[in-house]
Structure 1
Amino acid sequence: MLGILCTLITALAGISGVTVVTQSPPDLTKSKGQTVTMDCNLGTVTGSTARWYKQVPGGIPQFVLFFYHSHSTPTYGSGFSSPKFTSKHTSKSDYSLIINDVGDSAVYYCETWDSSASAAVSHLFFSLCSDSTLPAPAVTLFPPSSEDLQSLQVTLVCLVQDVSVGFADVRWTVGGSPVTSGVFTGPAEQQPNKKFRMSSYLTTQTSEWSSDKEFSCEVSAAGTSASKKMKKSDCST
């Protein structure tokens, strides 16, 4: 029988000029039922608490627990308790959230308070649990508009539909090389069929498109992947 895998992916959220909260390692993969440890470094915000939140796809964030280095045990939010969730620390700025018997799909936030800037800063952990039998998302790649072609920059649109979970990793390549500059990916939205859709945009120089390089939008979600490729000559009449 094929097992269920849970992949943890990280993305940074913060405020300019505020201490950055970081996580290591950048990703983890665990089978259902195993234990996952997510490490959170509070940066220069020492002596503060690490607060953890959980958000299921389509839901609102739920407070899981907070932990202070001088406390012997975490303080839990409603509906959360040990041994399913626990925490530890190795220094005044290094904390961990430990999840036993992992198995659901959720986004986990590590947050602290930067009193010097009067702002909360957080790090996001995308926990995606999936069965390998889930279908791959549907990917459609749209070329630049005729109006775009009259300007110095063009925009390609990658429409991702029928994603089984509320998060997908979208990556662009141009001429076989990964690109991140000029890329914007919007949040997932739920479709009437309870699956999710999202759009990603790549803005680049018109000369790049005119050189007939191959543009590719690659999507990974819940252990599945799909991609679409396109170049200018494919659109010629």
Structure 2
Amino acid sequence: MRILLVEDDSRLLTQLDQLLQTNGYSVDLADDGEKASFLIQEYPYDLAIVDIGLPIIDGFEVIKTARKNNIACPILILTARDRWQEKVEGLDAGADDYLTKPFHNEELLARVKALIRRSSGQANPVIEKGPISLDTTAEEVSVNGEYLELTAYEYKVLEYLLHNPQKIVSKTELTEHIYDQDFDLDSNVIEVFVGRLRKKLDPDGSYKPIETLRGRGYRINRDL
């Protein structure tokens, strides 16, 4: 999953970047509102974390502009503890949730996961599709109750496909959502990950969990 992180405090920006990457997210950074407004309209994100007090353009305007341009990704605002007005104004601008500073890392991660689930219509942290069960909290996958050992990127590919079960997802889209923005989009590494996932999820080829639509991309089998 790909996150836009917007924070003008360089120390906090670095800390949150490391936290999110350690927990498997691809992260793009912005330390002012102008850059944030450009990135959120230029690249597809699964979530944006936006501080309110930004230089050049404040966080409220970043959010309002994004919503006016039909950017639908969930937005989590960061705000000072004693400014309840910022929470209200941020939600009115189009944010989906807020977190007050200072905060615990565990709460930030929990809110991030909840917002991403909610945006894809998943209320339960465990996504089930046929025999496949993916626990977004524990980041574990099982098939018919048997735990599977997946690499970090195999997990990311499966998680994104399961969050978009009705959608045909191109290789480019998958790459954009699991890698940082400077990754080579022409790489065939996605084909490798999907091939490995198929072997691990369905070693005998009995239910074919991931469909390939030639020239278009991949989709979770709708018959599961």
Q: TM-score range by the shorter chain?
A: under 0.3
Structure 1-normalised TM-score?
Answer: 0.25
Higher radius of gyration, 1 or 2: 1
Structure 2-normalised TM-score?
Answer: 0.26
Q: Could you say which structure has the higher helix fraction?
A: 2
